[in-house]
Amino acid sequence: MTQLTAEAAREALAGARLRVLIIGAGIAGATLGALLRQRGEAGFVIERGDAHGEAGYMLGLLPLGGRVLNGLGLTDRYMAESLPMRTYELYDRRGRLARTFPLDRLVKDFGEWRGIERGALLAMLRTAAGPIRYRATMSQIVEAADGAHIQFNDGSEAIFDLVVGADGVHSSIRESLFDSREVEEFDTGWGGFVMWGPLDDPEVYSELWAPGWGVGVYPVPGRVGIFLAGRDKSISARDPHDYADEILTRLPDGRFRRLLAQRDRTEPAFYWRMADIRSKVWVRGRTLLVGDAAAGFLPTAGVGASAAMDSAAALADELSRAGTDHIPYALDLYERRQRHRVELAQKNSRNLARYMFVNSSAVALARDQAMRFYTLDRLVSDLSHVMSGTRKD
Ligand SMILES: Cc1cc2nc3c(=O)[nH]c(=O)nc-3n(C[C@H](O)[C@H](O)[C@H](O)COP(=O)(O)OP(=O)(O)OC[C@H]3O[C@@H](n4cnc5c(N)ncnc54)[C@H](O)[C@@H]3O)c2cc1C
């Protein structure tokens, strides 16, 4: 007979000092599960999807995320399953190479930027997190003096000391517990398809931003992720390969054209609307948010996954130090420690979106001219503050 989710939870949490339910085995939830497990704490992780059903896309990981993998003892596997990023190339609105930014100094100061497939990163984090309950969600939460009473989608019920909403940017935990006025959305009006092409130059990331459309190329082991962006209302309902063919006609000869022409037509394209959220409240009673559920990320600065891992690490740290009578204090410390860092990184992503996602030719021209004088330090200044741990108000 199939075991009910509540029975699996009681089994996983038998003898636990703290009964922690983690909702979502994405980047933040799986990292938190792995770190709690490493510290000898128990976390029960549930995931709506199944073990291999994740839509795939490429992720650039900053040292902010790489350091968490080091702490989990996953360095060797991470190195084997990712590629170093050494150079960022920026093309102008006409498709001409405008700037080449080497990453050497940032790498020397903080550590490596690396490209990895989301599925590969999830697989390593989920293995480290231990058993995960797939195809499971929460259908109801009632807070009481003895804990948060959770009903799962199979109807079974269990009580937890803490419920962690790690269920991503469209978090249903946030929606069910927090008022929509407590959540601010930043919508760029753009969206994009992820496709795959053959691996060419493994250490170079390239982006081209034209008025109303753009294309980016991001290497991972064995292939490159290709991001094809455009205005959400013009492209979201389109056939991705028709859109790719249209973009091909606008591209001059070179890397983008070559890779797009050789794209993989067998794997389904993944569509993403370029909007993020920022929740003004992270903790309510015994429930808290982590990762994109608390502050979602546009992919522009390539920092969302790293920020999610960094926050999960701060949370695991505060929880494992806290006495069971002082969990609200631990949650308060977690939010104080992370909110500023996360919102600064999010601000960097939003600012880059303002440069990248422009619709008028006049603005694109002005942007291209200004970009001639920009340094990489200036483009990622907020991220440097996050990585060096300095405050910026
Ligand atoms: C196209 C694209 C490119 C990106 N590129 C980068 C990049 O280069 N670098 C970078 O750092 N970031 C990038 N990001 C952002 C990054 O993916 C996110 O910031 C990161 O995944 C956030 O992690 P998370 O765990 O909070 O959410 P997610 O990784 O989205 O995980 C949420 C999990 O919760 C599960 N879930 C949802 N609802 C429920 C529920 N009700 N019950 C149970 N489970 C549930 C979901 O199935 C999922 O597994 C990119 C995002 C996109 C879309």
SS3 annotation, 73-137? CCHHHHHHCCEECCEEEEECCCCCEEEEEECHHHHHHHCCCEEEEHHHHHHHHHHHHCCEEECCC
Ligand 1 pocket check for 303: Cβ under 6 Å = yes
Q: Kindly state the average pLDDT of the residues 366-373.
A: 90
Q: Kindly state the average pLDDT of the residues 265-291.
A: 94
> Among the atoms of ligand 1, which is closest to the Cα of residue 172?
41
CB 285 within 8 A of CB 143: yes
CA angle 187, 98, 299 (to 5 degrees): 25
Tokens of 172: 């249903």
Residue 149 CA to ligand 1 centre (angstroms): 26
Confidence class for position 2, pLDDT limits 50, 70, 90? confident
**Structure confidence by residue, pLDDT tens digits, 281-304:** 999 999 999 999 999 999 998 999
Q: Name the residue at shortest CA distance from atom 30 of ligand 1.
A: 168
Residue 167 CA to ligand 1 centre (angstroms): 8
CB 183 within 8 A of CB 278: yes
Per the rule left: phi > 0, alpha: psi between -120 and 50, beta: everything else, 155 is: left
Q: Kindly state the average pLDDT of the residues 232-249.
A: 97
Residue 179: predicted pLDDT = 87
Tokens of 132: 């995960």
**Structure confidence by residue, pLDDT tens digits, 72-95:** 999 999 999 999 999 999 999 999
Tokens of 89: 């190339």
**46 pLDDT more than 70:** yes
Strand partners, 143: 148
CA atoms within 13 A on the CB side of 292: 20
Rounded to the nearest 5 percent, the helix, strand and coil shares of the chain are 40, 30, 30
Cα 285 to Cα 103: distance, rounded to the nearest angstrom: 43
Q: Name the residue at shortest CA distance from atom 35 of ligand 1.
A: 24
Task: Provide, rounded to the nearest whole percent, the portion of the chain with pLDDT above 70.
Answer: 99
Candidate from 5, 23, 27 with most ligand 1 atoms within 8 A of CB, to mutate: 27
Q: Name the residue at shortest CA distance from atom 39 of ligand 1.
A: 167
For the chain, how many residues are written? 393
Largest CA distance in the chain: 67
- In sequence order, what are the residues at sequence separation of 6 or more whose Cβ sits closer than 8 angstroms to the Cβ of residue 6? 152, 156, 157, 158
**Structure confidence by residue, pLDDT tens digits, 324-351:** 889 999 999 999 999 999 999 999 999 9
Residue 393: predicted pLDDT = 67
Residue 54 CA to ligand 1 centre (angstroms): 10
Cα 162 to Cα 231: distance, rounded to the nearest angstrom: 40
Q: Name the residue at shortest CA distance from atom 38 of ligand 1.
A: 167
Ligand 1 pocket check for 212: Cβ under 6 Å = no
Q: Kindly state the average pLDDT of the residues 191-205.
A: 97
CB count in 10 Å sphere of residue 26 = 25
Window from 189-193, 312-316, 371-375 with minimum mean pLDDT: 371-375
Tokens of 168: 């991503």
Cα 56 to Cα 50: distance, rounded to the nearest angstrom: 14
pTM score, two decimals?
A: 0.96
**22 pLDDT more than 70:** yes
Q: Kindly state the average pLDDT of the residues 189-217.
A: 97
Confidence class for position 374, pLDDT limits 50, 70, 90? confident
pLDDT greater at residue 381 or residue 130: 130
> Among the atoms of ligand 1, which is closest to the Cα of residue 167?
34
**Structure confidence by residue, pLDDT tens digits, 137-168:** 999 999 999 999 999 999 999 999 999 999 99
Ligand 1 pocket check for 47: Cβ under 6 Å = yes
CB 311 within 8 A of CB 291: yes
Q: Kindly state the average pLDDT of the residues 127-144.
A: 96
Cα 17 to Cα 40: distance, rounded to the nearest angstrom: 10
Nearest Cα to Cα of residue 92 among 234, 231, 215, 260 = 215
Residue 42: predicted pLDDT = 87
Residue 311: predicted pLDDT = 98
**171 pLDDT more than 80:** yes
Task: Provide, rounded to the nearest whole percent, the portion of the chain with pLDDT above 90.
Answer: 88
Residue 200: predicted pLDDT = 97
Confidence class for position 387, pLDDT limits 50, 70, 90? confident
Domains and CATH numbers, the chain: 5-85+114-184+275-358 (3.50.50.60)
